[in-house]
Amino acid sequence: MTSLALGIPTIRRDPARMPSMAGRPHTDGLVDKFGRVARDLRVSITEKCSLRCTYCMPEAGLPAIARDDLLSAIEIGRLVGIAARDLGVHDVRFTGGEPLMRPDLVEIIARSSEVALGASISMTTNGIGLDKRVDALVAAGLNRVNISLDTVDRDHFSRLTRRDRLPSVLAGIAGAKRAGLTPLKINAVLMRDTLGGAVALLEWALENGCRLRFIEQMPLDADEQWARDNMVDAAELLAVLGTRFELTAPTREDPSAPAEEWLVNGGPGTVGIIASVTRSFCADCDRTRLTAEGTVRSCLFGDDETDLRSLLRGGADDHTIAEWWRGAMWGKQAGHKINADDFIRPVRSMGAIGG
């Protein structure tokens, strides 16, 4: 059905077929049928990772993507250029897997920032090894990083990520701050297992000048352990944080920004809550995604993918690639349906899509 080797079972629509443009208005941007415009590009660049977070990866890691199936730095740069120049993308974020596992990450950032026409270039990372590479990455054009950290307790960290690497993550955070990538955002996934450490994590973030954001766990774990009944939601987290902090008035200046920012103890410190499951922001979603194998995904939860890699390698011009990308986004689904009875998990887990 498809020339792509995704390292995973089937994808619902044939990615090698041009998506339908029926009813699409003539406009350059990445519009969809629900009036949304995607301007925020997430680019996954690897399936490899130095951790095995239980809410994301299987213990053995994801099936390896063959080297030839991965987009090269040159191909990533070309697609980022098309996104920024022809499709109206103004934020480009590299993710994975763990982006720092790519030896050519500096080249990827350099090529992307060269063609991204003023777009912001950022990365979501677990921070391991960042201290050693951050200066080169910033020199190449990296503007911002989000670092993922769920607990500051070393034993707990080892259990949650199946790796004893907390000191390396903390070194990465220190390195990012030293390089001026501030204010630094820290992402923490909310789980029953992490709830007990939430107060300590927020105390640590406030002391260290980091902007902590808690994310409701989504059913995107490769082990398929997520259960709606057992999920910790934003309300439960607020009750726990409320025992130690005074939290006031959430603000959401940009409606497409998923985090609601609560002031802590009157400010200036804040804590963000991304209630992706219980208060879905799908109606304001402005994301478009590229997988490490070069398919466009219009939604985390939509298995429809469109193969741009074969186009690139088949000699297609930028105009054609942009048209396919527009078609892929025109077909974006309305939302994730996690709370509906007929919800179906996507085929790819979070680490194979890029969070």
Is residue 124 at the binding interface for ligand SAM, with CB under 6 A as the rule?
yes
Instruction: Give 9-68 as a DSSP string.
Output: S--SS-TTSPPP-TT--S-SSEE-TTS-EE-EEEEE--S--S---TTT--TT-SPPPPGG
Query: Residues 221, 260, 286, 305: which binds ligand SAM (CB under 6 A)?
Result: 221
Is residue 189 at the binding interface for ligand SAM, with CB under 6 A as the rule?
yes
Which amino acid is present at 49? C
Is residue 216 at the binding interface for ligand SF4, with CB under 6 A as the rule?
no
CA 249 to chain centre: 26
Beta bridge partners, 214, equal 188, 273
Is residue 351 at the binding interface for ligand SF4, with CB under 6 A as the rule?
yes
Is residue 291 at the binding interface for ligand SAM, with CB under 6 A as the rule?
no
Q: Which one of 15-23, 33-41, 123-131, 160-168 is the stretch in contact with ligand SAM (CB under 6 A)? A: 123-131
As a whole number of angstroms, the distance between CA 32 and CA 331 comes to: 6
Q: How far is the CB of 7 from ligand SF4 (least distance, A)?
A: 15
Query: Residues 121, 220, 234, 285: which binds ligand SAM (CB under 6 A)?
Result: 220
Residue number, 162 or 252, with CB nearest to ligand SF4: 162
Is residue 277 at the binding interface for ligand SAM, with CB under 6 A as the rule?
no
Give which of ligand SAM, ligand SF4, none residue 218 binds (C-beta under 5 to 8 Å, depending on kind).
ligand SAM
Give which of ligand SF4, ligand SAM, none residue 52 binds (C-beta under 5 to 8 Å, depending on kind).
ligand SF4
Provide CB contacts within 8 A for 340, sequence distance 6+: none
Is residue 219 at the binding interface for ligand SF4, with CB under 6 A as the rule?
no
Residue number, 62 or 140, with CB nearest to ligand SAM: 62
Interface of this chain with ligand SF4, residues 96 to 135, rule: CB under 6 A? 96-98, 126
Among the listed residues 226, 229, 208, 210, the one whose alpha carbon sits nearest the alpha carbon of residue 218: 226
CB atoms within 10 A of CB 252: 14
As a whole number of angstroms, the distance between CA 42 and CA 297 comes to: 10
The H-or-E segment that residue 287 falls in is strand 287-290
As a whole number of angstroms, the distance between CA 41 and CA 254 comes to: 17
Provide CB contacts within 8 A for 296, sequence distance 6+: 288, 289, 290, 305, 306, 308, 324, 325, 328, 329
Interface of this chain with ligand SF4, residues 247 to 306, rule: CB under 6 A? none
Site residues (vs ligand SAM, CB under 6 A):
49, 55-56, 95-96, 98, 124-126, 148, 187, 189, 215, 217-218, 220-221, 350-351, 355
Site residues (vs ligand SF4, CB under 6 A):
49, 51-53, 56-57, 96-98, 126, 148, 351
